[in-house]
Amino acid sequence: MEVGPSLLTRPMAGAGSGSSRQDRLYPPASRRWNDAAAPYLFIAPFLVSFLAFFALPSIYSVVLSFFRYNGYTTEHWVGLNNYRSLLEAPDFHDSVVNTVFYLFVPMLPMLVGAFLLALAVRSKMSNLSPVYRPLIFVPQVMAPVAAALVWRVMLSNNGVLNTALGVHVAWLTDPAALKWGVAMLLVWRGLGWYFIVFLAGLSGVPEDLLEAASVDGASAGRRLWHVIVPLMRPTILFALVIDTIASLQLFTEPNLLVGGAGTTAGAPPSAAPVMNQVVTNVIGGQFGLAAAAGWMVFVAIGCFSLIQFRLFREATQ
């Protein structure tokens, strides 16, 4: 079978005629090689950077997780000890519990709140969506560091929240209250992002379908539950997966909010996320432990994402 010239090697229309001239200029063997090589040339810039900055370091980090290594001396093989010692460490257990808290507790108010806000802004009742949209999104634009520092003031003993609620909760120091303060910050910051996501998803819901349901006598609640939510399922899945990944990789907010600002101290065990296991081990020169912790987070993200995809696929079917 004769193989046609590639887009790169093909002569321009009218530039020549007959396969003999083509064969002379572009021998079949050369054409075959070019055909095979062309796509790889196109993706080479990505491929090289992907290999250099992601794939190879990732492979290296898997190898590293079986060694004890401080970065500039000799590596010591420790087998699975890094994984075992992490799994046995009380700090690691605490950080996993905290991370699960940061995953599930803010999720409901954030996603449901964002969805309802998107519905409200898109509804015919609202004439001020050009005003609400940027306002709701503003917290997302704010740098996490700035947001955490502002919330640090708001949650202080004499801060806005305690004064407004008339309570005396030590949000920044009481081990029982630390995570709740972080959860409030996460909801406040994430609401705007998921609001935009859901707003985009709602624009894909056909108006005529809603009108038809309305004509058929469906109430607002039934239209929401039986028309909008099923059509929004891919968007909801996207939001869930993104939120899960972000929550499992959480680092900045808890450490800045309840860690020692102005010092190098991170969040205490009762509020530290699992990413602290990676970062503190990097700072401590324990690269093997840091790599092992990183891969455990990666596996957790994979498992959670898989479960979410499966649940939604089953629900869709």
Determine if 281 is a binding residue for other proteins (CB under 8 A).
yes
Shortest CB 10 distance to other proteins, Å: 7
Among 175, 204, 230, 234, contact with other proteins (rule: CB under 8 A): 175
Phi-psi region of 116 (alpha: psi -120 to 50; beta: other; left: phi over 0): alpha
Rounded-to-integer distance, Cα 111 and Cα 117, Å: 10
Query: Quick one: tokens of 2?
Result: 């004769």
Pick from 233, 59, 198, 66: which is nearest to 123 by CA? Answer: 198
Other CB atoms within 10 Å distance of the CB of residue 293: 26
| Residue number with CB closer to other proteins (37 or 229) | 37
Determine if 264 is a binding residue for other proteins (CB under 8 A).
yes
Rounded-to-integer distance, Cα 186 and Cα 220, Å: 30
Shortest CB 204 distance to other proteins, Å: 33
> What does R_g of the chain's alpha carbons equal in angstroms?
27
Determine if 16 is a binding residue for other proteins (CB under 8 A).
no
Among 17, 20, 73, 127, contact with other proteins (rule: CB under 8 A): 73
Shortest CB 47 distance to other proteins, Å: 8
Determine if 268 is a binding residue for other proteins (CB under 8 A).
yes
Footprint of other proteins on 181-240 (CB under 8 A): none
Q: Could you tell me if 91 and 277 are in contact, meaning their C-beta atoms sit under 8 angstroms apart?
A: yes
> Please, is 143 exposed, middle or buried when counting C-beta atoms within 10 Å of its C-beta (0-12, 13-18, 19+)?
exposed
Q: Could you tell me if 189 and 136 are in contact, meaning their C-beta atoms sit under 8 angstroms apart?
A: no
Among 131, 200, 265, 311, contact with other proteins (rule: CB under 8 A): 265
Contact segment (CB under 8 A) with other proteins among 78-86, 133-141, 186-194, 235-243 equals 78-86
Phi-psi region of 32 (alpha: psi -120 to 50; beta: other; left: phi over 0): alpha
Count of positions on this chain that bind other proteins (CB under 8 A): 62
Shortest CB 102 distance to other proteins, Å: 18
- Give me the 33-62 binding string for other proteins, x by CB under 8 A, dash otherwise: --xxx-xx------xx--xx---x------
Shortest CB 113 distance to other proteins, Å: 28
Determine if 173 is a binding residue for other proteins (CB under 8 A).
yes
Determine if 170 is a binding residue for other proteins (CB under 8 A).
yes
Determine if 113 is a binding residue for other proteins (CB under 8 A).
no
Contact segment (CB under 8 A) with other proteins among 80-88, 109-117, 129-137, 183-191 equals 80-88
The β-bridge partners of 67 are: 77
Whole-Å CA distances, 161 to 7, 145, 154, 185: 65, 20, 6, 12
Across the chain, the runs of DSSP E, i.e. the strands, are 67-68, 76-77
Write the DSSP assignment of 170-225 as a string of letters.
Answer: -TTT-TTTHHHHHHHHHHHHHHHHHHHHHHHHHTTS-HHHHHHHHHTT--HHHHII
Among 14, 18, 90, 166, contact with other proteins (rule: CB under 8 A): 90
Determine if 262 is a binding residue for other proteins (CB under 8 A).
yes
Pick from 192, 66, 39, 211: which is nearest to 121 by CA? Answer: 192
Determine if 172 is a binding residue for other proteins (CB under 8 A).
yes
| Residue number with CB closer to other proteins (5 or 109) | 5
Determine if 291 is a binding residue for other proteins (CB under 8 A).
no
Q: Which residues of this protein are in contact with other proteins, per CB under 8 A?
A: 1-5, 10, 19, 35-37, 39-40, 47-48, 51-52, 56, 68, 70-73, 76, 78, 81-82, 84-86, 88-91, 152-153, 156-159, 170, 172-175, 260-265, 268-270, 272, 280-286, 289
